[in-house]
Structure 1
Amino acid sequence: PCPRPPPAALRRCRARLLGSAPPMSALPPGADIKRALENSPETNIEDELPDGPPQPRPKNYLLLSILACFCPAYPVNIVAFVFAVMALNSYNQGDMEGSKRLGRNALWVAVASIIIGLAVIGIYCVVHFTTVSTVLLVPMQTLLCTGFRIRN
């Protein structure tokens, strides 16, 4: 912080700026401006302070929803991410109940996204590994049945 000039210097500066007439709202000599502002009703913030200790931040499951975005269930995992971000924004705005509700929604949608993603991966693996073996056998059988010989 910068050092404050003495009150006499402030009065001289004020007198130069405003001429020799003192301002209408001049404080009595020797009054501290900062102390006068602290007592004004505009700077009274005691009514805005919470009564009890600050509440802990509810879980928003943002990390889980980001990890769920790597699962192949794209519309569902994006919804989980949106719920998690909305829970974080609700907390920042002071809405604890809304943040808890949106956090629970983000959790359930992220878990559903992971389950759907694992099911899609499982179905893909079953389909891939059951059809790959027959797809490779069909061209070899057609080659052998048509009389095509493989040279050694």
Structure 2
Amino acid sequence: MALGVLNQQVNSSLSESQFGDNSSTEEKEPPLRSYLILTMLACFCPAYPVNVVALVFSIMSRNSHYNGDYDGSRRLGKNALYVAIASIIIGLLVITIICTVHFTSMNHLV
């Protein structure tokens, strides 16, 4: 009889340890999406005030995630993504306009 009780205890402890514990009340940490690399690459585009804003949003997203505010981290990371994309688009427009003005004005000099 003692062997049957011991066998049940071993089975219950093995099922909990192998297949995860049954406590679903713990909040799992979502992945960090602060887009820090994208915002750092956007800093090379010539749209400097917008680049800095994207970088600040990204860093704030990381800080919120490490402090446990996952909703705030997700929101700030999404803002960092949008501002970084806007910065890249603005930078490409500035480069296009500068190149267009430069190469069209060179034709008048020749």
TM-score by length of 2: 0.75
Amino acid at match of 2:90: I
Which has more helix, going by share of residues?
2
Amino acid at match of 2:103: F
Instruction: Classify the secondary structure of the residue corresponding to 1:54.
Output: coil
Q: Deviations over 1:36-75 (max 9, x none)?
A: xxxxxxxxxxxxxx93252222311100000000000000
What is the Cα-based RMSD across aligned positions, in Å? 1.4
**Equivalent residue for 1:65, pick from 39, 46, 49:** 39
- Decide whether the 8 Å contact of 1:57 with 1:91 is kept in 2: no
Query: Could you tell me how far apart the structure 2 residues matched to 1:90 and 1:74 are?
Result: 24
1:133-148 to structure 2, matched below 5 A, reads: 133-135=107-109, 137=110
Query: Could you tell me how far apart the structure 2 residues matched to 1:94 and 1:53 are?
Result: 10
Higher relative contact order, chain-length normalized (CA < 8 Å, sep 6+): 2
Amino acid at match of 2:67: Q
Matched residues, number: 87
- Decide whether the 8 Å contact of 2:45 with 2:91 is kept in 1: yes
Runs of 4+ in 1 over 4 A off after TM superposition: none
Query: Could you tell me how far apart the structure 2 residues matched to 1:103 and 1:72 are?
Result: 22
Q: How far is 1:132 from its partner?
A: 1.2
Instruction: Say whether 1:86 aligns with 2:60.
Output: yes
Q: Could you list the runs of 5+ residues in structure 2 that have no partner in the other structure?
A: 1-23
- Pick the structure with greater CA Rg: 1
Amino acid at match of 2:107: S
Amino acid at match of 1:87: S
Match of 1:122 in 2: 96
Match of 2:80 in 1: 106
- Name the % identity: 56
Instruction: Classify the secondary structure of the residue corresponding to 2:46.
Output: coil
Instruction: Classify the secondary structure of the residue corresponding to 2:56.
Output: helix
Query: Could you tell me how far apart the structure 2 residues matched to 1:65 and 1:95 are?
Result: 21
Q: Could you list the runs of 5+ residues in structure 1 that have no partner in the other structure?
A: 1-49, 138-152
Query: Could you tell me how far apart the structure 2 residues matched to 1:57 and 1:84 are?
Result: 14
